């Protein structure tokens, strides 16, 4: 075949082929090495069926899901308010943005024990740690979004008699929407990470507890089945956010 | 009523600028810049006035003082005898160099939001907006988004928005500057027709000599900074003005006089850069 006559297949075909190849590789590698740390795909799939019939595991998934939902909701509210407050004026922007970025840059895992001491070993510490991961991407995106507003739009609105609330409602919010959803997409995975880390550390329940248990008791098949379920959760949230992001940024 | 009566000192005065001076801090941090000094003008109802002068002579500042967007350091602007202390959305509408349309809203929604800002009665907003679009020939683009329109059409939409606000005064801050020349000429003709049909009082900040002569009843020529009024030219020609006016001896004569008046000021404004060359 000459290079000219070669037509690349549609993207979904090549993508599906790559994934298939990886799955086959997984199966082969899983059968070759020690089954203490790694399991072939076929075993993970059959374990998946059994662990998701396990009431305890289902309970853990449900626990993690609602902790994540609360954590994410709080991240959005706090992050939005914080971002708006920082972006409110030149003064607040110049004063507080560096502080915000500094806090964002801290590897938060180092302060996890303090979260647990303060919020206890129940769901509160997991929610709080999730929020501490989710709120910064949102706040920073909101600040960036507000900074991007064209001053002329505001000047024009003021000349037409717009009140502060009208400027916020008709200009700031719609202008902000795309960056807010970008922030929410980043925050959703960050919050999940925070929640899982806290669950791993405290290990009193939730998915994190089971990943630890399966890992330490050399049941990699179950571990990977659980990871697959978690990944699915993350992908679903991510894609929902991306849809919203696209929906609200059609005009850009 | 024809525009003939709306010109010059004979008409009822609508806008008055009394001894306005404006000083602002220099952008580089040191000292102050005197943008305007001792401006005293009167503009009659229905008059079309251009403000022309070198860059930085304060003509936009004067426009914003009249529009209530800037409080002058000294003096005051009056509209209909009342002192301007802030934006006057019921009396004054702006058209800027850029259309300032909200990118996420359709053209129709843009105008409706503006009417909401102005606190126009909710029930009539849709109808008023549609009529304004029709007046500028954009009714077919009511549901288009700004990014789908050309630069000229966007400015036309900005004009429709300004008209929909039904103000007596239109303030135009270099509204044609970003448009190509053909679009600019068509736009000027439309504006002249609008002047003949509606009794708007218009202040136009422009850098174009031809535009100023073609559109204005009076032209205020500014000095370079600090901005003062150097001369006032009258253009005695009824609206609507046709393209033929642009090739008439009268037009050329006025344009040349305007250039003579401006030349020294522009040279003075860029003088520092030129000294080395001279």
Q: Phi and psi at residue B15, in whole multiples of 5°?
A: -120, 135
Buried/exposed A228-248: b ≥16 CB within 10 Å, e otherwise: ebbeebbeebeeebeebbeeb
Residues of A in contact with B164 (CB under 8 A): none
Q: What is the pLDDT of residue B1?
A: 37
- What pLDDT does residue B274 have? 52
User: Distance between CA atoms of B158 and B164, rounded to whole angstroms?
Assistant: 10
Mean pLDDT for all residues in chain A: 88
Q: Would the CB atoms of A161 and B119 count as touching at under 8 Å?
A: yes
Residues 6+ apart with CB under 8 A from B27: B33
Which fold does the domain B3-91+184-274 belong to in CATH?
Rossmann fold (3.40.50)
Q: What is the pLDDT of residue A31?
A: 85
pLDDT surpassing 60 at residue B97 = yes
Q: Do B147 and A159 touch (CB under 8 A)?
A: no
User: Of A192, A188, A198, nearest to A238 (Cα)?
Assistant: A188
Q: Does B250 score more than 90 pLDDT? A: yes
**A160-182 mean pLDDT:** 92
Residue B2 has pLDDT above 60, yes or no: no
Q: Is the pLDDT of residue A221 over 60?
A: yes
Q: Which residue has the tokens 């880390």?
A: A197
Asked if A156 and B92 come within 8 Å (Cβ–Cβ), the reply is no
Give B152-200 pLDDT, tens digit per residue: 899 999 999 999 999 999 999 998 888 888 888 888 888 888 888 888 9
Question: Which residue in chain B is spatially nearest to A171 when comparing CA positions?
Answer: B102
Provide the terminal-to-terminal Cα distance of chain A, rounded to the nearest Å.
43
User: What does the alpha-carbon distance between residue B25 and residue B43 come to, in Å, rounded to a whole number?
Assistant: 29
A200 or B93, higher pLDDT: B93
Q: Does an H or E element contain A150, and which?
A: none
Tell me the residue ranges of DSSP E strands in chain B. 13-25, 32-44, 48-52, 74-79, 82-83, 92-95, 169-173, 201-206, 218-222, 229-234
Pick the CATH number of A44-248 from 1.10.275.10, 1.10.3720.10, 3.40.50.1860, 3.40.50.11810: 1.10.3720.10
CB contact under 8 A, B89 and A174: no
ipTM score assigned to the predicted complex:
0.87
Average pLDDT over residues A49-78: 90
Q: Could you tell me how many CB contacts below 8 A there are between chain A and chain B?
A: 56
Please report which confidence band the pLDDT of residue B135 belongs to, taking 50, 70 and 90 as the band edges: confident
Name the region of B19 (left: φ>0; alpha: ψ -120 to 50; beta: rest).
left
Give A-chain residues touching B67 at CB under 8 angstroms: 159
Domain with CATH 3.40.50.300 in chain B: 3-91+184-274
Give how far Cα B57 sits from Cα of A20, B62, B174, B223, B231, Å. Answer: 70, 10, 14, 7, 14
Residue pLDDT, tens place only, A79-90: 999 999 999 888
Contacts of A157 in chain B (CB under 8 A): 117
Element (H, E) at B148: none
pLDDT by residue (tens digit) across A8-26? 788 889 899 999 999 999 8
**Domain regions of chain A by residue span:** 44-248
Query: What integer best gives the mean pLDDT of chain B?
Result: 88
Give the alpha-carbon dihedral of B68, B71, B76, B78, to 10 degrees. 10
Contact criterion met (CB < 8 Å) for B94 and A159:
yes
- Please tell me the distance in Å from B254's CA to the nearest CA on chain A: 34
Residue A52 has pLDDT above 90, yes or no: no
A interface test, pick of B104, B121, B169 with most A CB neighbours within 10 Å: B104
What's the gap between Cα B214 and its chain centre? 14
**Per-residue confidence (pLDDT) for residue B64, from 0 to 100:** 94
CA distance B112 to A226: 53
Q: Taking residues B22-38, report their average pLDDT.
A: 84
Half-sphere exposure of A95 (CA within 13 A, CB side): 7
Residue-level pLDDT at B4: 44
Query: What per-residue confidence (pLDDT) applies to B9?
Result: 44
């Amino acid at each position: 075949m000459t290079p000219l006559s070669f037509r690349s297949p549609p993207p979904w075909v090549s993508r599906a082929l790559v994934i298939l190849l990886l799955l086959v590789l997984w199966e082969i590698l899983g059968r070759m090495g020690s089954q203490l740390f790694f399991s072939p795909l076929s075993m993970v799939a059959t374990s998946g069926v059994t662990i998701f019939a396990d009431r305890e595991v289902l309970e853990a998934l449900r626990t993690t899901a609602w902790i994540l939902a609360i954590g994410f909701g709080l991240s959005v509210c706090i992050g939005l308010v914080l971002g708006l407050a920082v972006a409110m004026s030149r003064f607040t922007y110049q004063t507080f943005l560096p502080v915000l970025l500094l806090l964002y840059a801290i590897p938060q895992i180092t302060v996890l024990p303090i979260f647990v001491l303060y919020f206890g070993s129940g769901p509160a510490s997991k929610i709080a740690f999730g929020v501490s991961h989710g709120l910064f991407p949102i706040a920073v995106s909101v600040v960036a979004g507000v900074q991007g507003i064209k001053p002329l739009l505001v000047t024009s609105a003021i000349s037409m008699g717009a009140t502060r609330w009208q400027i916020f409602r008709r200009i700031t919010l719609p202008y902000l929407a795309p960056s807010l959803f970008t922030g929410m997409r980043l925050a959703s995975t960050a919050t999940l990470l925070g929640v899982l880390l806290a669950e791993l550390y405290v290990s009193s329940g939730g998915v994190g507890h089971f990943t630890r248990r399966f890992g330490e008791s050399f049941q990699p098949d179950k571990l990977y089945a659980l990871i697959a379920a978690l990944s699915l959760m993350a992908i679903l949230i991510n894609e929902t956010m991306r849809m919203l992001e696209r929906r609200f940024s059609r005009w850009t | 009523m024809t525009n003939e009566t709306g010109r010059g000192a004979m008409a009822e005065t609508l806008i008055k600028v009394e001894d306005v001076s404006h000083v602002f801090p220099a952008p580089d941090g040191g000292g102050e810049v005197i943008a305007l000094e001792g401006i005293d003008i009167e503009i009659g109802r229905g008059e079309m006035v251009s403000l022309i002068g070198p860059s930085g002579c304060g003509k936009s500042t004067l426009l914003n003082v009249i529009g209530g967007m800037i409080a002058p350091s000294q003096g005051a602007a009056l509209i209909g005898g009342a002192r301007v202390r802030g934006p006057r959305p019921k009396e004054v509408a702006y058209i800027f160099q850029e259309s300032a349309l909200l990118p996420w809203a359709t053209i129709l929604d843009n105008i409706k939001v503006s009417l909401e800002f102005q606190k126009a009665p909710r029930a009539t907003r849709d109808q008023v907006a549609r009529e304004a679009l029709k007046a500028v020939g954009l009714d077919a683009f009511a549901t288009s988004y700004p990014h789908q329109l050309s630069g000229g059409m966007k400015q036309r939409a900005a004009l429709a928005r300004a008209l929909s606000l039904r103000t007596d005064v239109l303030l135009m801050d270099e509204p044609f500057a970003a448009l190509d020349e053909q679009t600019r000429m068509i736009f000027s003709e439309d504006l002249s027709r609008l002047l003949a049909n509606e009794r708007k009082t218009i202040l136009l900040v422009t850098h174009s000599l031809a535009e100023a002569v073609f559109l204005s009843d009076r032209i205020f020529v500014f000095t370079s900074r600090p901005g003062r009024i150097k001369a006032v030219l009258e253009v005695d020609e009824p609206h609507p003005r046709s393209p033929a006016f642009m090739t008439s001896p009268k037009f050329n004569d006025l344009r040349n006089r305007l250039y003579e008046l401006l030349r020294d000021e522009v040279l003075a404004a860029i003088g520092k850069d030129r000294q080395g060359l001279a």
